[in-house]
Amino acid sequence: MESISVFDIIKVGIGPSSSHTMGPWNAAESFLNLIRREQGICNVSEVFVEFFGSLAKTGIGHGTDVAGMLGLSGENFKTIDTTTIDQKIEIIKTTDELILGGEKLIPFVYGHHLILNKNKTLDFHPNGMIFKAIFNNGDELVQDYYSVGGGFIATQNENSMEEQCVRTLYPCHHGNDLLRNVEKLGLERISDLIFLNEESWRTAEETAAEALYIWQQIKECIYKGVNKEGILPGGLSVTRRAPGLNRKLLGEHTYRNIEEWFQLVVDAEETFNNISKWVSCFALAVNEENASFGRIITAPTNGASGVIPAVLMYSQAFTEFNSEDAIIRFLLVAGEIGTLFKKNATISAAMGGCQAEVGVSSAMAAAGLTEILGGTPSQVLMAAEIAMEHHLGLTCDPIAGLVQIPCIERNSMGAIKAITAANIAIESDPTKARVSLDEVIKTMWETAQSMSDRFKETSEGGLAIAVNVAEC
């Protein structure tokens, strides 16, 4: 089993979906690199991409087609000016042309060169896609890709994660591995162990710097979300709620920049109701940004991108555990818990429903918070278990295939559950627990396999068909 860095689980991304936007975007980039290795982009006459299964059924709402076109154009979702996306897509659609890899202008007719095949699902994974390039000499290059959650991609023959497989000093593929290695090394905290393992990718200083960079991106995303009014794109006419909630909570106070805003949050009245509303506000802000092709932190997916930011912001604004060291340790532990779910279950809603996204993110956040609150290693795992236990069976049934209803509110609920799980774990004796984290991960995967495909990001069941879109 491969080792996965925590920063492969928690990373900079772009909305609205890690599996349906970032995955296809990464696949397009991978295919461009494959073309370059074969005959070169200059020798391509046409390129085709066909999306299948869940990618096709909810592709429009998730921006899958947009990601495919921008990825083939050579755009990078980490650096693209998100305000230009609509314009770039409009140019492709109106001119019927695309600059492949940013190097060569080729014909590209939407609906011919890019197809959303809703009637077929590839066997390997429900999020399947096939890219094809035709060269000037008549040769064809065909490659399948599968978006397996969190922006990760694989092919049927070779998992892309294993191409550059890294072995850590103290492999931790299960929760019990974490506890065993912590005890073996005489460490006090799970984050101490993760620091050691992350040295397989970078120095401890670089790991700390990356975590603080993630935190800065989280703050900026929340700040954008609480200051951006309007209606979310997609046709459901969903109004952004974070700005109004932010105004109500701050009252007459004003601010000129992110630091002044953050200080006002820190100084806010700390009643139970106020803190609960702030946590919801943080989560709403992130997911409203995600729903509008904003730049967010994928943790472990985009659909669940509001949970960890909300809980981490809660810890920084409303607890005494608000140092840079606490931020780093929170993210390291949260990311490590995410790797356990990816290795032993799934973080793809198309495979496991929303329990694989909001459920996993809630478990991650609960573990991270427990770590910095002073919980023991066993209490950290217990918190993750509690959070997931109360997300088991959660469906993914987005109305109109958009990451809006019920996705945005679910992030608020996932954040609140994470905080509750951490508080329960801190006050509990893990030796008396009847369910382990490893057992709940196994149960989650068994539940995912038993779940009808109608509830796995297809918009063919649940709220997606129970609610009349015109009424939303």
Domain boundaries for CATH 3.30.1330.90 within the chain: 18-162
pTM over 0.85? The answer is yes
Q: What is the DSSP code (8-state) at residue 46?
A: E
pLDDT in tens, 348-363: 999 999 999 999 999 9
pLDDT of residue 467: 84
pLDDT in tens, 143-182: 999 999 999 999 987 654 444 567 899 999 999 999 999 9
Kind of pairing between the strands at 97-100 and 104-107: antiparallel
Q: Using CB atoms within 10 Å of the CB of residue 154, give its burial: 0 to 12 exposed, 13 to 18 middle, 19+ buried.
A: buried
- CATH assignment, 18-162: 3.30.1330.90
- Residues contacting 207, CB < 8 A, separation 6+: 195, 198, 199, 201, 328, 332
pLDDT of residue 157: 79
Picking from 422, 392, 394, the residue whose alpha carbon sits closest to that of residue 407 is 394
Cα 40 off chain centre by: 33
pLDDT of residue 161: 42
Instruction: Per-residue pLDDT tens, the chain, 472 aa: give them.
Output: 888 999 999 999 999 999 999 999 999 999 999 999 999 999 999 999 999 999 999 999 899 999 999 999 999 998 999 999 999 999 999 999 999 999 999 999 999 999 999 999 998 899 999 999 999 999 999 999 999 999 999 998 765 444 456 789 999 999 999 999 999 999 999 999 999 999 999 999 999 999 999 999 999 999 999 999 999 999 999 999 999 999 999 999 999 999 999 999 999 999 999 999 999 999 999 999 999 989 999 999 999 999 999 999 999 999 999 999 999 999 999 999 999 999 999 999 999 999 999 999 999 999 999 999 999 999 999 999 999 999 999 999 999 999 999 999 999 999 999 999 999 999 999 999 999 999 999 999 999 999 999 999 999 999 999 986 654 4
Distance CA 368, CA 311 (A): 9
Number of neighbours of residue 415 by Cβ within 10 angstroms = 33
Residue 434 CA neighbour count, 13 Å, CB half: 1
DSSP codes joined into one string, 250-279: HTT---SSHHHHHHHHHTS---HHHHHHHH
